[in-house]
């Protein structure tokens, strides 16, 4: 029964794709590639819908301007990002992300990902829309993450603790061995100090 249950869970995992709407990162380093993550998980009734994706960019104090569109084919609008946008969407159109190549300081701003799904029903074709906003900040150099700093400190503390514990164990074992050797030497000395007559008396008689 347990084996059957495990096989059923594995089979279900392969048959049904898992979709998790993870928020995008909001900080990029100048000169690197930045993936603007936009995930919109489909519901069961949306599987038969056609998807249209529109990406907009709004600089600080400016207006939204279209930069990228997916409508059965990819289309990049003329903008400051011309030649620097790459489609990273999945085949099932749940992940409709794009990547900005060679990020510059002027790329900071608000990115909007609009998803429109048109249901392919015979009687009517309703629309479902959703949006994702990404507030992107571009910095010149990568700042040190507080979590990574804490992890490094904990790692060094653990290494010091393990080193001290190993030294203590080595000293304890050395003392234990030394005491055992001293006890063996004392027993040997006591035996040698016994007169030869007593040694003969200590011998076990052999029966014929």
Please tell me the pTM assigned to this model. 0.60
Q: What is the mean pLDDT of each run of 10 residues along the chain (208 residues)?
A: 38 52 91 95 78 95 95 93 94 94 95 91 80 95 70 87 90 87 77 60 53
Q: Give the DSSP letter of residue 44.
A: G
DSSP 64: -
Task: Give the model's pLDDT for residue 79.
Answer: 94
At 101, list the tokens: 């190549």
Give the model's pLDDT for residue 205.
Answer: 55
Q: Give the per-residue pLDDT at 152.
A: 80
| Residues 193, 195, 196, 202, CA torsion sign | negative
Residue 106 carries which DSSP code? G
Q: Please spell the DSSP secondary structure of 6-27, one letter per residue.
A: HHHHHHHHHHS-----PPPP-E
């Amino acid at each position: 029964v347990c084996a059957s249950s495990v096989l059923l869970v594995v089979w279900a995992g392969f048959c049904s794709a898992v979709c998790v709407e993870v928020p995008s990162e909001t900080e990029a380093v100048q000169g690197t590639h930045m993936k603007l993550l936009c995930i919109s998980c489909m519901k069961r009734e949306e599987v038969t819908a056609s998807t249209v994706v529109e990406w907009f960019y709004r600089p600080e104090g400016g207006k939204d301007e279209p930069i990228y569109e997916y409508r059965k084919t990819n289309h990049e609008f003329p903008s400051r990002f011309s030649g620097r946008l790459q489609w990273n969407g999945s085949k099932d159109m749940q992940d409709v992300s794009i990547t900005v190549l060679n990020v510059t300081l002027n790329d900071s701003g608000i990115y909007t990902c609009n998803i429109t799904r048109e249901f392919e029903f015979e009687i009517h074709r309703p629309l479902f829309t959703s949006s994702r906003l990404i507030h992107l900040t571009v910095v010149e150099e990568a700042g040190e993450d507080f979590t990574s700093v804490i992890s490094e400190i904990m790692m060094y503390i653990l290494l010091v603790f393990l080193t001290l514990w190993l030294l203590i164990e080595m000293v304890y074992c050395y003392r234990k061995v030394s005491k055992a050797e001293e006890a063996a030497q004392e027993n040997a000395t006591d035996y040698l100090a016994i007169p030869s007559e007593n040694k003969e008396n200590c011998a076990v008689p052999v029966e014929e």
